[in-house]
Amino acid sequence: MSEFPDLGRRYQPLSWLARRSHGSSLAVLDHWTGRSVFLKILADDRKHDLRSVERFLLESAVLRRLAEHQPCPVVPLLDTGHIDGRPYFTSPLMPGWTLAEAMRNRPVFQPRSVLRLIELALVRLRDIQALPKGTQLNLRIELRPNTVRLTIC
């Protein structure tokens, strides 16, 4: 994973976290706050694809609602906006482990407990009702061991 995308003046890329066809996730330095944060941005070649933009914006809306309605917030959103016509959002870089790391290094995370964690995440998503009445939630949720982050709260 080579060259970083241009993120304007506010965010300075530090490292790649994931690069997919629909978008990228990076650890970035927020020059306004001086903190390292997580940034997810839509892929440049999808910024004119209405379905991709709507899906990305829906994802940030769902995350915002999850953060508002949980005793232990999933992950609060810090900032949302557009960079060069592409939507993005930021959230804190969370301490802890990916689910893949936990499964490898911590015997407490056996397949049955992993399935229970995923089941709890899906129940929370279903119960938040983040969308206006009459809108269907058609969001592909990517719960893979290397994309789920575990932390103590």
Most confident stretch, 40-44, 54-58, 109-113, 119-123 = 40-44
pLDDT greater than 60 at residue 142: no
Per residue in 17-46, is it b (16+ CB within 10 Å) or e — as a string?
Answer: beeeeebbebebbbeeeeeebbbbbbbeeb
Count of structural domains within the chain: 1
**Spatial distance between the Cα atoms of 79 and 84, rounded to a whole number of angstroms:** 16
- Does residue 2 lie in a domain region? no
* Residue 111 banded pLDDT, cuts 50, 70, 90: low
- Does residue 116 lie in a domain region? yes
Question: Residue 112: which domain range?
Answer: 11-150
Helices 111-127 and 50-68 cross at an angle (nearest 10°) of: 100
Q: How far is CA 126 from the centre of its chain?
A: 17
- Does residue 6 lie in a domain region? no
Tell me what pLDDT residue 135 has. Answer: 47
**Spatial distance between the Cα atoms of 147 and 52, rounded to a whole number of angstroms:** 20
Residues in the chain: 153
- Does residue 5 lie in a domain region? no
- Does residue 140 lie in a domain region? yes
- Does residue 3 lie in a domain region? no
**Spatial distance between the Cα atoms of 52 and 43, rounded to a whole number of angstroms:** 9
Quickly tell me which residue has 């609602």 as its tokens.
65
- Does residue 60 lie in a domain region? yes
Looking at residue 20, which CATH number applies to its domain?
3.30.200.20
* Residue 137 banded pLDDT, cuts 50, 70, 90: very low
Query: Are the CB atoms for 93 and 27 separated by under 8 Å?
Result: yes
Mean pLDDT score across all residues of the chain: 76
- Does residue 146 lie in a domain region? yes
CB atoms within 10 A of CB 124: 14
Tell me what pLDDT residue 136 has. Answer: 47
